[in-house]
Each structure stands twice: as C-alpha cells, then as structure tokens.
Amino acid sequence: MNGKRNLVRSFTTPFGDVPAPAAFIAATTVWVAVLGTWAVATYGGYVADMFLPVPDAVIRRAWKLASDGTLFVHLWSSVEVVLLGFTVSAAIAVPLGLYMGTYKIVQAALEPLVNFIRYLPVTSLVPLFILWIGIGIGQRITVIFFGTFFSQLIMISDEARAVSRDLVNASYTLGTTRREAVWHVIFPAALPGIINTLRVTMGWAWTYLVVAELVAANSGLGFISLKAMRGFQVDTIFLAIFLIGLLGLITDMGFRLMRRWLCPWAA
Amino acid sequence: MTNTRGSLSIQNVSLSYGKAEKRVLALDGISFEVRSNQFTVIVGPSGCGKSSLLYIAAGLLEASAGGVTASGRLVEAPGADRGMVFQSYTLFPWLTVRDNIGYGLRRKSMPAAEREAIVARYLDEVGLTAFAGHYPKQLSGGMMQRVAIARALANDPDILLMDEPFGALDSQTRHSMQKLLLRVWEQSQKTVAFVTHDIDEAILLGDRVIVMTARPGKVKADIEINIPRPRAPEIELESEFISLKRRILNELRGEIDEDH
C-alpha cells in the first residue's frame, strides 16, 4: 500500500525518477494502444483497406519483398545514401566547426555565408542538383549534405564556443600551448555536445533522404513508397514508413551508445 | 628586483577596460615584490581587481601599463612555471582524478613511470588515492579543489597563483582545505600568491598580507605576519592573531564604507 503510494508520488513529482519496469510498461502500453487502434480500425472494417492496410497485409508484403531480395536492395540503397552524405558532412563539420567556435576570425569569415545557406530550404535546391548531377546516388548524397552540413557546422561551433574559458586558462598554466588547446582541451570538452549534434542532425539526414528519393530516384525506401502510391499499394507505403522509423531508432541508439562509450565521464 | 627562481615582481601594473567614457580603471599602479618561497596573501574589497592582478601575473590577462617579472623574466604569456588554482572548478571533466593530476607532466612528455610516481605522491598528499579513478563529476567541491591543488603542484611550478581557491566551499570544508594547504606548503615551500577576501584565511596562511584599496585597486598596506610555523587553525584565538586581524580590518573598513 505504502509502496503504491510512493510510486504514484514518484510519477507526479516533477523530474522524479521512475523505476525501470514502470517506464517499460508505460512505453509498451502506448505501443499496444497505437497498434491496437490500428488493428481495430482495419479488422473492424471502420477504414477502407485502400487507405489503411490491415497489419498482416504489411507483414505479408514485408515477407514477399524480403524473400525476393528487393527489400534489401532498397533498404541498403537508402542506408548507403544516408551514411555517405552524413559521414562526408560530419567529417568536414566537426573540425571546421571546432575551429569556427575557437577562432573568431574563422567565425567572422564563415558565419554570414553559412547562415545564408542554412536557411535556404534544401528542397529549393533539388531542381538545381538534378540539373547538375542527375538523379543518381550523387544527387541524393548532395541533398543530404546540404540538408545537414551547414546546421551541423553552426551547432558544433556553438558547442566549441561554450567551453569554459577557465578550463582553457587552466590548461595554459599547466603548459598547454595555444595550438594544443584546440584538440587537447576544447575538443574533448565539447565532445558530448558534438555527439548530441550529430545525433540530432542524423534525424534530419533521414528526412532529406526521403525528400530526395521522392523527387528523383530509382531505388530506396522513398522510391518504393512513391511507386506504391501509384499502384495503390498502401501496405508497401506502411512498410517503408515503418522501416525508416526503425532505422532512425537504430541510428539514434547507436549515437547514444557512442556517447556512453566515448564520454563515460559525461553520463 | 631579485633574479632568483620563484621570485615575482609586480611593477607599476595598471589595468583599465571598456571604451571611451565608459572606461574603468581597475588597477592603478600596483607594485610589490614577492621573494622566493614566500607565501603572500592579497586581500581587498570585492571588485578591487585582486583577481585580475593574479591573471596578469599568470599571463592570462594583459596589463594596460606596467609589467610583471617572474623568476626575473618578463611575463608575456601563460606558462607552466606559474601554476594556478582557480576559484571556479577547472578540472578537466573528461579525465580521471589521476589523469588530471598528471596532465601537465604528460604535456611535458615525462616518461610514464616517473609521471605515475609523482601522481601517486600527490594523490596521497591530498588524501584522494582511493578516488584516483573517479571523474570530477563524481567528487564534492572540496575534493575537486584538492585535485586542482595537486594538479598544480605535481607540475612543479616556480610560482603558485591561487585565486580564492576555497571561496566556493562551505566553512567546514574550507577549514580542512586550509589545514591541508598549510601542511603541503610547509613541505614544498613554493612561492605562493594567494587572493582571498577572508581575513582569517589570509593571516593563517600568509607570511605577509597585502591589503588593496577599493577600485581602482592600489596597495594600501603591506603587513608582515610573523606567527611561527607550523601553524594550525587554533592560532586564530591567540592575541597576536587577533591584533593582526584588527589591523587589517581597520585598513579594509575605510575601503568597504566608501564602496557601499
């Protein structure tokens, strides 16, 4: 009785901790409710299956596409584009953002241009990219790069700029040179924030991937989704949406693990 | 001007900041000499620029006029010869206690075995051997400042600059830190310039107390503390201590009244 009251109390306390099993049950309940509503709406015949497929139709579709291998072709096509576009973007944005946050002159030089490009909707550039690069994988990678790079750069430079001056000062009094301070002090101090930035922008990369695939592509989850719309195969659309969500969840978990592994001190 | 290792000479240092009519004079022609191995405490009302003076000595801040020489050399940039302990917590959060203490030695590329021996000695000195593998986040404020002191001393600087290192600690922790610093300093006998606004702390620790005026900071009094060492906090009840405290308080009182 007392235990139950404590539990209710911990649920209703702002920022109160909740036992792990309770958190698990809460999350499962929401999933079951969503899937249950879906099942009732479709099996109950409340919604036409042209608009909302029955759950087992999605599973059968997944099985069918998986057994002839096309599912994996399209899955890999999407993953490949996201990974390439995101990696190229991060590989430039991390060091450049670090210098931009550290050295005011680099900030002064880059920030006006970067902010101009950052607020351009990437979608407005897509026709240009198609004209320049065509509709191959290069075009989709370019869309992802443009969608993530400039914001990554600004966010990472903010992380670097937020590093405590006294931390840098302390390192100087211990014999660190000004040049060493960037990689020996500012980088490790900003690393948890940098990983968070990468995690957030990875979500955007998935968004721009689908945009790119819907506009012009001949493979990928966005592509099969668009093709399915033309053939009224709503189950395929659901499958594609589900897989994109699942991949997003997996990459998000990957970044969480990476942060825990690289920055155990910030946990 | 002395030329020996560990001496610190503040020569006519002024500091002003801000632009045009908003220009503020923070330090106004400060001069004093600190002998090698002397423990000098600087006290003054808040905003008198005593911390700025320490930053100038460290080479972290540039004086508007005048200069500082450390061990006979003009200070132009920060360097490992002038270690510093800050009021804010400045341990590197991504390094364990052990690696924080060894940071400066690693920068000097000291061989690992030698480094580890020094780190172990200072871990023991500040009583944190059991916490060697902890990250700063897992430590209390007092423990963090103990590591900061160990980190500065392990690097073997000629001069140790301490900017209100115990200012953020509760009074009980502060007392035990003062005892620890007395013990460590009485063994190492380094030149120390220590900034505080706590008069008891100043008399307990210092060979000499420099009293600064309110802004713009000038040297108002320079008082020798001839209480024999080793000292313990119990001396705070002795008449000699109390008369010194009265003298310093009188010097400061005028300044604080003017200020408020």
CB contact under 8 A, B94 and A180: no
Given the structure tokens 């600690």, which residue do they identify? B169
* Residue A9: per-residue pLDDT: 85
Chain B window 129-168: which residues touch A at a Cβ cutoff of 8 Å?
Answer: 135-137, 148, 151-152, 155, 157, 161
pLDDT at B27 over 50: yes
The residue-averaged pLDDT of B229-256 equals: 88
* Residue B2: per-residue pLDDT: 46
**Beta-bridge partners for B23:** none
Domains along the sequence of chain B with CATH: 8-81+157-259 (3.40.50.300)
CA distances for B201 relative to A106, B40, B182, angstroms:
45, 12, 11
CB contact under 8 A, B79 and A166: no
| Identity at B47, one-letter amino acid code | G
Least confident of A178-187, B93-102, B111-120, B185-194: B185-194
CB contact under 8 A, A169 and B103: no
pLDDT mean across residues, chain B: 91
Contact A10, A18 (CB under 8 A): yes
User: At a CB cut-off of 8 Å and minimum separation 6, what does A133 contact?
Assistant: A139, A142
ipTM of the complex: 0.91
Provide, as residue numbers in chain B, all residues whose Cβ is less than 8 Å from the Cβ of A187: none
- A116 in contact with B at a CB cutoff of 8 Å? no
d(CA A147, CA A125): 10
* Residue A60: per-residue pLDDT: 93
pTM as predicted: 0.88
Q: Which of B82, B94, B108 lies nearest to residue A173, judging by beta carbons?
A: B82
pLDDT at B201 over 70: yes
Contact A122, A147 (CB under 8 A): yes
The residue-averaged pLDDT of B59-78 equals: 94
User: At a CB cut-off of 8 Å and minimum separation 6, what does B143 contact?
Assistant: B128, B131
d(CA A52, CA B171): 68
Secondary structure element (H or E) that encloses residue B160, with its range: strand B159-163
Q: Confidence band (pLDDT; 50, 70, 90) for B188?
A: confident
Picking from A166, A160, A162, A124, the residue whose alpha carbon sits closest to that of residue A143 is A124
Q: Which residue from B minimizes the CA distance to A171?
A: B104
d(CA A229, CA B110): 67
Q: Confidence band (pLDDT; 50, 70, 90) for B260?
A: very low
Q: Confidence band (pLDDT; 50, 70, 90) for B20?
A: confident
For the segment A61-120, what is each residue's pLDDT rounded down to a tens digit? Answer: 999 999 999 999 999 999 999 999 999 999 999 999 999 999 999 999 999 999 999 888
* Residue B1: per-residue pLDDT: 46
Q: Which residues of chain A have pLDDT under 50?
A: none
d(CA B92, CA B84): 14
- A167 in contact with B at a CB cutoff of 8 Å? yes
How crowded is the C-beta side of B86, counted as CA atoms within 13 Å? Answer: 20
* Residue A106: per-residue pLDDT: 96
CB contact under 8 A, B151 and A174: yes
For the segment A152-168, what is each residue's pLDDT rounded down to a tens digit? Answer: 999 999 999 999 999 99
The answer, yes or no, to whether the previous bond of B228 is cis (omega within 30 of 0) is no
